[in-house]
């Protein structure tokens, strides 16, 4: 099943998936964020009967619709790549990974597709309350879609609820609830979706600020900024809280990710959290990672060399020992299948016992160099700081917008309008920095400790993947330019 693959093929497959994911994530957070903002605005229309809120909601719905359509196109291509470029991965864990994606497609996507039509075309055809329900259900469908996709992604970070079947050479699901509601999945869902609300809120505030700069649509702009800042401040605070929870989980199940986030080579107790350079917060890293200021946090070298005490009381194995046991597991699997084919049940039972003992290290058997177990330290270190730093900025930014709105001074603070406009790209930078931390920090694994990328990729010609990479690059760029152009035209036209 897992053959030797050309290194260039692995790199091009990774590059193509990264390209598609980066473009796709330009659209998803805005969809999730705008869904909440426009839902609140339509709720205000239905409860107050004020036509102003109807016009305001319809304007943001137009931008939602433009963004939603492009996001669907990139998302479909992303999912197809699991079958085309990562067929070994799909074979090895398809029974588990495919389940949440199938539910996402059958339930959430069709839910979105059904109610989005009512939302856009049903204003004068259904009752106010039914239309309001359709608007919220469209947003709920997008959120449920995000839930199942994040369940699948979280399982790659923290594989649970499955057993390896040596007869089929596949991992098979044995506990759906463990997969669907793992603590990592719940935390990742809250952190990701709430951070997407920040993107939507920053977008609404930035566009509204543009109207204030142009001295247009003042009532619409100020009202939109109040609603968006309320959503944004709530989302920023919850995102910070779930970020703390996520850091603790990463320390437990992906210690190497935490070590490279901090560029921590030699760990210890009472570890400080590095802000930048020599600026450190005493004992904060130990507190985040273990909920104890005296807690031990392993560094990169500690994880590679092993020998330190794990939370369960056992001693950490070195990377070399894990690779050795992984190779024993692979050899035992081959022996088991050979014995089964020849009808030697005794040999099969012996091989199966060896496989079971070493299965936790199966993926390490495909690692050729322990250096490959260390993600890119510089990228991770700075991406984490960009994410956290901008997260703190957004808390202050949304609070300031609400404060000035409450004081009825928001319209007169001209410098803040320009800051708000440039805050839109900052929201996207923060969002993508978060995904860099999550995904680059997992490397070299497609599934943590179970399947590295060099064993997950399809056996294809690198040239074909390279060709489609550039086709996708051109196509996605054209779609992005088209979306921005249509949005700018809609914004310039203003509220009808």
Query: What tens digit of pLDDT does each residue of 392-412 get?
Result: 999 999 999 999 999 999 999
pLDDT tier, 354 (very low <50, low <70, confident <90, very high otherwise): very high
Q: Specify the pLDDT at position 56.
A: 95
**Which secondary structure element, helix H or strand E, spans residue 162, and what is its range?**
strand 162-165
Q: pLDDT: is 300 or 458 the higher one? A: 300
Contact call for residues 363 and 447 (beta carbons, < 8 A): yes
Contact call for residues 247 and 207 (beta carbons, < 8 A): no
Query: What tens digit of pLDDT does each residue of 30-58 get?
Result: 999 999 999 999 999 999 999 999 999 99
Look at the block and give the residue holding tokens 């699948």: 152
Give which of 336, 342, 374, 341 is closest to 355, Cα–Cα: 336
DSSP one-letter string for 233-302 = HHHHHHHHHHHHHHHHHHHHH-HHHHHHHTT-SS-BSSPPEEEETTEEETTHHHHHHHSSTT--B--HHH
Average pLDDT over residues 2-30: 82
Residue 5 scores a pLDDT above 60: no
Strand 279-281 to 445-447 pairing: unpaired
Q: Specify the pLDDT at position 3.
A: 46
Least confident of 100-114, 158-172, 288-302, 313-327: 100-114
Query: How is the chain split into domains, by residue range?
Result: 7-254+376-493, 273-363
Residue 112 scores a pLDDT above 90: no
Look at the block and give the residue holding tokens 């790209």: 425
Residue 22 scores a pLDDT above 80: yes
Query: What tens digit of pLDDT does each residue of 193-244 get?
Result: 999 999 999 999 999 999 999 999 999 999 999 999 999 999 999 999 998 8
**Cβ neighbours, 10 Å, residue 163:** 11
Q: Specify the pLDDT at position 2.
A: 43
Query: What tens digit of pLDDT does each residue of 145-173 get?
Result: 899 999 999 999 999 999 999 988 888 99
Average pLDDT over residues 270-297: 90
**Which secondary structure element, helix H or strand E, spans residue 401, and what is its range?**
helix 377-406
Average pLDDT over residues 261-276: 92
Per-chain mean pLDDT for the chain: 91
459 token code pair:
């056996």
319 token code pair:
């990377």
Return the top range by mean pLDDT from 1-10, 20-29, 318-327, 337-346. Answer: 318-327
**How many helices (DSSP H) and strands (DSSP E) are in the chain?**
17, 6
Q: Which residues contact 389 (CB under 8 A, 6 or more apart)?
A: none
Helix axes 110-121, 128-157, angle to 10 degrees: 150
Contact call for residues 236 and 396 (beta carbons, < 8 A): no
Q: Specify the pLDDT at position 202.
A: 97
Average pLDDT over residues 362-375: 93
Residue 276 scores a pLDDT above 70: yes
Average pLDDT over residues 463-486: 91
Q: Specify the pLDDT at position 157.
A: 92
Residue 489 scores a pLDDT above 80: yes
pLDDT tier, 258 (very low <50, low <70, confident <90, very high otherwise): very high
Give which of 110, 205, 215, 96 is closest to 156, Cα–Cα: 96
pLDDT tier, 445 (very low <50, low <70, confident <90, very high otherwise): very high
Contact call for residues 286 and 269 (beta carbons, < 8 A): yes
Least confident of 97-106, 410-419, 451-460: 97-106
Beta bridge partners, 280, equal: 274
Coil/strand/helix, residue 156: helix
Asked if residue 444 has a cis previous peptide bond (ω within 30° of 0), the answer is yes
Contact call for residues 216 and 495 (beta carbons, < 8 A): no
Contact call for residues 183 and 15 (beta carbons, < 8 A): no
149 token code pair:
């996709």
pLDDT tier, 313 (very low <50, low <70, confident <90, very high otherwise): confident
Give the E-state strand segments of 302-366 in sequence order.
Answer: none
Buried-exposed string 34-70: b where 16+ CB fall within 10 A, e elsewhere? bbbbbbbbbebbbeeeeeebbebbbbbbbbbbbbbeb
């Amino acid at each position: 099943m897992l053959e030797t693959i050309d290194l260039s093929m692995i790199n091009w497959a990774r590059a193509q998936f990264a390209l598609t994911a980066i473009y796709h994530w330009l659209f998803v957070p805005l969809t999730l964020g705008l869904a909440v903002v426009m839902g609140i605005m339509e709720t205000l229309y239905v409860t107050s009967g004020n036509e102003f809120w109807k016009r305001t909601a319809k304007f943001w719905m137009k931008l939602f619709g433009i963004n939603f359509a492009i996001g669907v196109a990139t998302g479909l291509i992303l999912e197809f790549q699991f079958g085309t470029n990562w067929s070994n991965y799909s074979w090895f864990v398809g029974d588990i990974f495919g389940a949440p994606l199938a539910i996402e497609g059958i339930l959430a996507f069709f839910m979105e597709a059904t109610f989005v039509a009512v939302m856009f075309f049903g204003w004068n055809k259904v009752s106010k309350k039914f239309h309001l329900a359709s608007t919220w259900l469209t947003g709920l469908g997008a959120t449920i879609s995000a839930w199942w996709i994040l369940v699948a992604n979280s399982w790659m970070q923290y594989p649970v609820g499955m057993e390896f079947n040596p007869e089929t050479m596949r991992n098979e699901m044995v506990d759906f609830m463990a997969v669907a509601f793992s603590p990592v999945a719940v935390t990742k869902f809250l952190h990701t979706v709430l951070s997407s609300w920040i993107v939507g809120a920053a977008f609404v505030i930035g566009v509204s600020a543009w109207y204030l700069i142009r001295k247009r649509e003042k009532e619409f702009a100020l009202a939109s900024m109040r609603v968006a800042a309320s959503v944004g401040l709530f989302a920023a605070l919850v995102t910070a809280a779930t970020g703390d929870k996520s850091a603790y989980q990463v320390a437990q199940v992906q210690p190497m990710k935490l070590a490279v986030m901090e560029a921590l080579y030699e760990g210890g107790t009472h570890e400080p959290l590095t802000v930048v350079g020599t600026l450190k917060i005493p004992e904060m890293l130990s507190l985040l990672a273990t909920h104890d200021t005296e807690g031990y946090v392993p560094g990169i070298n500690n994880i590679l060399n092993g020998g330190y005490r794990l939370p369960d009381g056992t001693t950490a194995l070195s990377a070399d020992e894990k690779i050795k046991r992984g190779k024993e597991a692979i050899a035992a699997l081959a022996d088991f299948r050979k014995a089964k084919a020849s009808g030697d049940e005794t040999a099969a039972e012996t091989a199966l016992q060896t496989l079971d003992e070493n299965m936790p290290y199966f993926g390490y058997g495909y690692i050729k160099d322990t250096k490959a177990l260390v993600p890119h330290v510089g990228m991770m270190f700075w991406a984490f700081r960009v994410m956290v730093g901008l997260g703190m900025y957004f808390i202050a930014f949304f609070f300031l917008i609400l404060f000035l709105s409450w004081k009825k001074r928001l319209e007169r603070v001209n410098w803040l309008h320009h800051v708000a406009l440039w805050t839109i790209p900052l929201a996207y930078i923060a969002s993508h920095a978060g995904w860099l931390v999550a995904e680059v920090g997992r490397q070299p694994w497609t599934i943590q400790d179970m399947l590295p990328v060099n064993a997950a990729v399809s056996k294809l010609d690198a040239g074909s993947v390279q060709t489609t990479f550039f086709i996708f690059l051109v196509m996605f760029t054209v779609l992005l330019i088209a979306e921005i152009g249509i949005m700018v035209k809609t914004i310039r036209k203003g509220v009808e």
